[in-house]
Structure 1
């Protein structure tokens, strides 16, 4: 009987078991993933050599225990490789990972992030992010990324500066004004301390008289002054006030006269605020107080100040 039963099964007379008939279940399809990379804590979109910035990698969706590899190149040389684990954000809609990155040398940096496929998540490759690592130094005649970074940051803080990418006299004067505000040595060179200070937000001009509307605030001790509208700084200038023998008067005054052009004393586009004291352009504007009592400014800045100020505007001259 046993042999007969086996024969019947072989001939199909007896049904096979359910396990023999049901095909195995297909493997689950990995979820589609996206990766993106951004560079944060940079200065004007560039990194400073020897100073860290943050690479931020985002994966969507967030899947526990999934990782990505971040590779950092300087030119064609790989300078950093790190496997990153993600933390959920937005209720698990995405995962975020960060890494501090530093380049000891100047050059073009590339940030490349990728995730190799796993049973839970498909392969994902982020768009490469590129930025310059620049030496934090610039002086007269310099040009390029470092100068553009410097000019961009100074302008953002309202220092009057050209945006040419060339370290010209206007850039030197803006650096001088910033150095004065921070109490640094009064030189026209942007050293690493200048770049680091700008990145940290140092050098802000604090308004003392927001209730005076459109006005001037001059700081004798700093040898700078600012054009201010209400509580907002509009422009900050390098200036030279009265020498010890001919000091600038202190106090609150008002613009009472405006003389365009150049007068017999070499004063350019003069804005008078009391007696013969004026804000004006002059050929010599040293880092220290050297005038006959006026507020000297570089000649290229004189016309814009002249046009901005109106009769009756307040001028504060204080320490």
Structure 2
């Protein structure tokens, strides 16, 4: 090797450290950001939302991480309704997303949202939210989720309902009693107003005499009979009290006699609380006062009411 070549090689080696020191420093790899997702529902009243009504799933992601997405899932009875991937938009130090939805089918919808891990943001899963979609109409003969929802909400308030998914005569009586207590037209139709009021928690029976223990209350204003136990209405029935010409006596009484079966006057399973006044079943129980002073109840419910009432059970009759 000539002297010129050696000199070039030496100079090249001497320049290596200078070239290496000119490279930018390697940045450390940061772990993905830990974030949380919070869901809320807009347009959903306490208890649910009416079918065909628009409502919104709105979420907040804390903190905001640029370029991320979230997947929102809606399911009913375990079946997929919707899966939607949404971009997370910046709102100050947090991120937000929103999804509008509506359905004409009644039932409970489970809403969930999650973010799949990326190099920038770790996996995040929101607590699920549930929405009861309320039907707008149910009548005698209706079957399915609408009736199940109606049955559940009425039963919670003490109305006596069936155990099937069919809107039968017992369900019709419960709806009639509910409409009476809420001041609605006295029919057996579960229309939009019924479902809305149930969703708002209306229709509960306000006990007048909680200190009377296990007793019967006849609300003559609303024409509803209540069997009270532990300070609340255990059972609620539509009834018909005394007509204007033969009014029901007002006051606080106790059952002194009981007669099973049907007597010559057509009174079915009677529990007498003063003189000839009794709680009893009768073939005709209109939605208005029509008896000779007794508290008439539907004949189909007479035996169970008779079995609940004992000798000595207090009976309170009053107007609200």
Which residue number corresponds to residue 147 of structure 1? 147
SS of equivalent to 2:153: helix
- Show the counterpart of 1:252: 252
Report what 1:174 is aligned to.
174
The offset of 1:298, in angstroms, is: 1.4
| Unaligned 5+ runs, structure 2 | none
Once the two structures are TM-superposed, the CA of residue 306 in structure 1 deviates from its matched residue by 1.6
| CA distance in 2 between partners of 1:183 and 1:241 (Å) | 17
Change (3 A) 1:7 1:190: same
Q: Is the 8 A contact 2:181 2:222 kept in 1?
A: yes
Query: Which structure has the larger Rg over C-alpha atoms?
Result: 2
Structure 2 CA distance for partners of 1:80 and 1:259, relative to 1, 3 Å: farther
Per the alignment, residue 282 of structure 2 pairs with 282
Give yes or no for contact 1:71–1:82 (8 Å, CA) kept in 2.
no
Deviates more, 1:243-252 or 1:34-43: 34-43
User: Which position in structure 2 is the counterpart of 1:221?
Assistant: 221
Structure 1 stretches of 5 or more lacking a match? 88-94
> Do the aligned partners of residues 110 and 308 (structure 1) sit closer, same or farther apart at CA in structure 2, a change above 3 Å counting?
closer
CA distance 1:230–1:116, change in 2 (3 Å): closer
CA distance in 2, matches of 1:86, 1:250: 66
Cα pair 1:73 1:80 within 8 Å, conserved: no
Instruction: Confirm or deny: 8 A CA contact 1:240 1:297 kept in the other structure.
Output: yes
Q: Does the aligned pair in 2 maintain the 1:43–1:153 contact within 8 Å?
A: no
- The SS at the match of 2:152 is helix
* TM-score after normalising by structure 1: 0.77
User: Following the alignment from structure 1 to structure 2, what is the Cα–Cα distance between the partners of residues 127 and 97?
Assistant: 16
* Contact 1:207–1:233 under 8 Å retained in 2: yes
RMSD value, Cα = 4.2
CA shift, 1:186, in A, is 0.7
Hey, what does 1:63 align to over in structure 2? 63
Matching residue of 1:203: 203
The 8 Å contact of residues 54 and 98 in structure 1, kept in 2 or not, is answered as no
Alignment correspondent of 1:183: 183
Q: 1:27 maps to which residue? A: 29
Contact map agreement 1:68 1:85 (CA 8 A) in 2: no
Answer yes or no: is the 8 Å Cα contact 2:39–2:126 preserved in 1.
yes
| Alpha-carbon spacing, 1:98–1:47, altered in 2? closer, same or farther (3 Å) | farther
State the Cα distance separating 1:113 from its structure 2 match.
Answer: 3.2
* Deviation, structure 1 residue 56: 6.7
The answer to whether residue 113 in structure 2 is matched with residue 113 in structure 1 is: yes
TM-score by length of 2: 0.77
1-structure distance, mates of 2:95, 2:237: 43
1:269 equivalent to 2:269? Answer yes
2:134–2:195 contact (8 Å) kept in structure 1:
no
Give aligned pairs, total.
309
- Aligned position for 1:165: 165
Deviation at 1:219, TM superposition (A): 1.0
Contact 2:36 2:63 (8 Å CA) reproduced: no
